[in-house]
Amino acid sequence: MFALRNASRRLYTSRRSRLLSTLAVLEHRGGQVSASSLPAVTAASKLGGPVTAFIAGGDSASVAAQAAKLVGVSKVLHVPNGAYDKGLPENFAPLLAENIKAGGFTHVVCAHSAFGKNIMPRVAALLDIQPISDVTEIKDATTFVRPIYAGNAIATVKTGQPTNIITVRGTAFPASATEGGNAEVAEAPVDPKAPALVEWVEENLAKSERPDLATASKVVSGGRGLKNKVKFDEFMPPLADALGAAIGASRAAVDAGFADNSLQVGQTGKVVAPQLYMAVGISGAIQHLAGMKDSKVIAAINKDADAPIFQVADVGLVADLFQAVPELTEKLKNE
């Protein structure tokens, strides 16, 4: 009898341990779930198990109510504590690690954004888990595709870990619908209220009337070919405005002070995949391509017909940008 009972308990335990359950960590700003978190919810749904959304901050209850409507989310856990408002990794990571342990999740998914890149490696370290970052495809619950060497190679990785800490590339998954879900909302079981190791002082956000670079459907980016900041400011904003596009820049342009750091596209900048990406005076170095090569249509203006950008461009114009850009801007304005 004893042996039988033990055997059935073992069976139950092993079945339970195979059950998938995913925690999707959501970012929020100004009381709204961030657009960058919506593809993460889609990715979490693809894993196959139920998806629990996780939110922390002073206004977590109202953000949780929004998250409950996300399609694919079956439960929302929130932590109503202003200590987590700014997503400081030193505070957020222990909170998340404790809730992952309490919930026994098999997968934890977050956007591969500044927030996710800050927090998830720390969570993985606290749980002694190898994180899987910048995932672009989910083959199944244990097999993930991710770019390596600045996108020069694509690795398919297999995991046997009981818990998997994953960040996903936002441009690789569609955004989940924000209406239609009806998830249960509850407070998270654990708030360790760890002593704050760091203090939030201030933030200086770049303000712009133009679309946000990370989510814009059209992007025009300028490179070193623009020669200096005065010319960048003279030629790029009118082109962007005529197209209704966000402005981006190559690292060379950013390093030379033509454009703000927040506008850098590429391996060490933002990864974008708009409907239209126009590269102006950009050579097309591999580190730049890593941030834009998944764009639907790539257009390039460069005076060098052999510039590598033309190898990925759908539409190319070999011309002096100082002549071509004003002509193009005028034509677009008159359309």
Binding residues (CB under 6 A) for ligand FAD: these are 223-225, 250-253, 264-269, 281-283, 285, 287-288, 291, 301-304, 307, 320-322
For ligand FAD, give the closer residue by CB, 188 or 226: 226
- Numbered residues of the known binding site: 224, 250-251, 264-268, 281-288, 302
In the complex, minimum distance from the CB of residue 235 to ligand FAD, in angstroms, rounded to a whole number: 10
In the complex, minimum distance from the CB of residue 296 to ligand FAD, in angstroms, rounded to a whole number: 20
In the complex, minimum distance from the CB of residue 320 to ligand FAD, in angstroms, rounded to a whole number: 5
- Numbered residues of the known binding site for FAD: 224, 250-251, 264-268, 281-288, 302
For ligand FAD, give the closer residue by CB, 141 or 256: 256
Angle between helices 89-103 and 114-127 (to 10 degrees): 60
In the complex, minimum distance from the CB of residue 73 to ligand FAD, in angstroms, rounded to a whole number: 33
In the complex, minimum distance from the CB of residue 307 to ligand FAD, in angstroms, rounded to a whole number: 4
Residue number with the smallest Cβ distance to ligand FAD: 266
For ligand FAD, give the closer residue by CB, 168 or 280: 280
For ligand FAD, give the closer residue by CB, 22 or 167: 167
For ligand FAD, give the closer residue by CB, 55 or 282: 282
